[in-house]
Amino acid sequence: MKIDKKLAITIVLWLLVVPIGVYYSYHLFPPKHVSFLVIAAFCILTGIVSYFPINISSNPIYMFQWVTMAGLLSYGLFFELILTQFSIIVVLISLKVKKEEAYRYPFNSIMFFGISILSGLLYYAIGGETGFTTLHDNILPIIIYAIANVFINQLFLVISGPFVGKKRNLFALDFLWEIMIICIVVPLSITLYYLNGVIGYAGFLLIFFPFMGFGYVLRLYNSSERINDYLHKAAEIGHQLTERLEVNEVLDLFVQKVSQTLTVDYTYILDVMGDEMVLLRGVEFGLQKPDIIPPIKRYEGISGQVWANEKPVFYNSREEWENFASGYMPDNAESILCVPIFKEKKVEAVLFLASTKSGQYEKYQLPILDILCSYFVVAISNARHYEQTKMISEHCSLTKLYNYRYFDNLLSNEFELLNKGFRKELSLIMLDIDSFKMINDTYGHQSGNEILSMMAKRIKSLIGNRGTVARYGGEEFVILLTDTNKHAAMRLAELVRLTIANRPFMITNSLDNDMSQVSINITVSIGVATAPFDADDALSLIRHADRALYIGAKRAGKNRVAEYVK
């Protein structure tokens, strides 16, 4: 169901229910005489309590019911009904409901109108009285009324769940939480009721300041608890980051943990590269979005300003940042938190976080995020150092191909998979440059190195993703093909041989004083063996491919492909 359709339906229902219901409520339950000052005091207190909730575990708790209940006890159902409608409007304003959720205004108005009417009728039915009388016989109806108010509220939430897209259970945890809140609401309501009856509107001041003071102290305590919780999580995340050895693993884990810790919908890590920032990792609603943000210059947009000023910023609504934001921005972003990532007192990157909800971030989250970024920088540096060291240890520095050590481990692992049935066949192509010693003697070893480097690039481009190419030693190269039979391996080996033989190599004659460029023709001899038909283990496969190379190809005249024959 589209939002505009929801809005239309709720407006029609509101027109059919609320205005008519208010009219009949006024005539059936007319309010008792009340002065303008008392009405103003009720409205002011209700508005303040509704706009400033008590936050517990990052969840806003709106406790306006203690004021509206006091209104019921003092002046009757109609007064409570109007007061509740006013409270709902203030609550929705404080939540900064978006335009696409505008249906919540008429929807909540209808829901709380029903709650007021049903719980109020129940209160009268069980003998509840209104006006300034003794409460000796009224305590039980008040308690039943308060419990019924919560129960009816939960019932409405369950029934309306499919309409608003949020399924709820009747006796969920929030129902128990609401029941516990009654222990606060009922005494406060009775206290306000008595104070209003004894000293009038001045009594509101006597209860307002203690309540707001209690709320402020609770908010401070809750903030300290959340900070401690964030610090604990940051320490855990730091340990997890330092355990990752791959750069991509560090990036993925960092984005995941930051999104979970701060409730983030959009996460972008922008890496400083010279005089611009480029997107290192972009994630929207848990999905990676590569290349979604073009390069950003210094002072350009929010991220560019954070980079240039080296100071974090946070905004709680689109109105606060939309006038100076530029470049790519998520369409439905509201709250934004953007911080620089330092390394050795220099901005190396910028972390940009955004949420579709307004009022999502608070100032105390900035130092927490700074701690997380510090862990992230260390983890990224360690991962990059590890990857660089691993690459050096696994690759030939001249040809940039995998070296013998890596290939030997790879072949052993592939044989384990073959023996376990995860691989059907393994074909090994071993290649040797013909007359390479004569090339070195004629043009010099530096020219020979050029040929090895160009040969590696040529073989790699021919094989692509079909296999793994490695330098086996000297002028020998090997190609490992998984799940490839000998016939297919022989055809690929022949393609490699023909391509090399028919495409001359342009090299520099390092023995010539002028370092002239010369074009030479080079041929290769190739041997092919396939497991499990030709070998039962990795060493046998290498030995048999080598035998095919030297006996079947080299001794037969070179520049040819030979297969191993038992």
pLDDT tens track for 131-165: 877 677 788 888 899 888 888 888 887 787 777 66
- Per residue in 293-336, pLDDT (tens digit) is 889 999 898 999 999 999 999 898 888 888 888 888 888 888 89
Residue 363 or residue 209, greater confidence: 363
Beta bridge partners of 517: 508
Distance, in Å, from the CA atom of 189 to the CA atom of 64, rounded to the nearest integer, reads 10
Same domain, residue pair 176 and 276: no
Distance, in Å, from the CA atom of 94 to the CA atom of 49, rounded to the nearest integer, reads 11
Q: What is the mean pLDDT of the chain?
A: 86
Distance, in Å, from the CA atom of 181 to the CA atom of 191, rounded to the nearest integer, reads 16
Same domain, residue pair 413 and 380: no
Distance, in Å, from the CA atom of 201 to the CA atom of 70, rounded to the nearest integer, reads 13
545 located within any domain: yes
Place of tokens 């009417």: 117
398 located within any domain: no
Would you say 307 and 272 are in contact if contact means Cβ atoms under 8 Å apart?
A: yes
217 located within any domain: no
Same domain, residue pair 117 and 243: no
What predicted TM-score, i.e. pTM, was given to this entire model?
0.61
Same domain, residue pair 117 and 187: yes
Statement: residue 2 has pLDDT above 60: no
pLDDT value, residue 331: 81
Same domain, residue pair 135 and 280: no
219 located within any domain: no
Distance, in Å, from the CA atom of 531 to the CA atom of 377, rounded to the nearest integer, reads 46
Same domain, residue pair 475 and 425: yes
Same domain, residue pair 150 and 260: no
Distance, in Å, from the CA atom of 362 to the CA atom of 551, rounded to the nearest integer, reads 75
Same domain, residue pair 468 and 533: yes
> Domain of 321: which CATH number?
3.30.450.40
281 located within any domain: yes
394 located within any domain: no
**Structural domain containing residue 447:** 404-563
- Per residue in 366-423, pLDDT (tens digit) is 888 888 888 888 888 888 888 888 888 889 989 999 999 999 999 999 999 999 999 9
Statement: residue 102 has pLDDT above 90: no
> Domain of 531: which CATH number?
3.30.70.270
Domain count, the chain: 3
Q: How many CB atoms lie within 10 A of CB 150?
A: 22
Same domain, residue pair 67 and 190: yes
Same domain, residue pair 453 and 378: no
Q: Tell me the C-alpha to C-alpha distance, in Å, between residue 431 and each of 217, 399, 495.
A: 78, 15, 12
Q: How many CB atoms lie within 10 A of CB 445?
A: 12
223-236 average pLDDT score:
74
61-66 average pLDDT score:
79
Same domain, residue pair 439 and 477: yes
Pairing of strands 524-531, 561-563: parallel
Distance, in Å, from the CA atom of 420 to the CA atom of 414, rounded to the nearest integer, reads 10
Residues known to be catalytic:
475
Query: How sure is the predictor about 1, in pLDDT bands with cuts at 50, 70 and 90?
Result: very low
Statement: residue 190 has pLDDT above 50: yes
68 located within any domain: yes
> Domain of 77: which CATH number?
1.10.1760
Instruction: Name the domain boundary from 200, 223, 248.
Output: 200
Same domain, residue pair 193 and 239: no
82-93 average pLDDT score:
90
491 located within any domain: yes
Highest mean pLDDT among 92-96, 174-178, 197-201, 545-549: 545-549
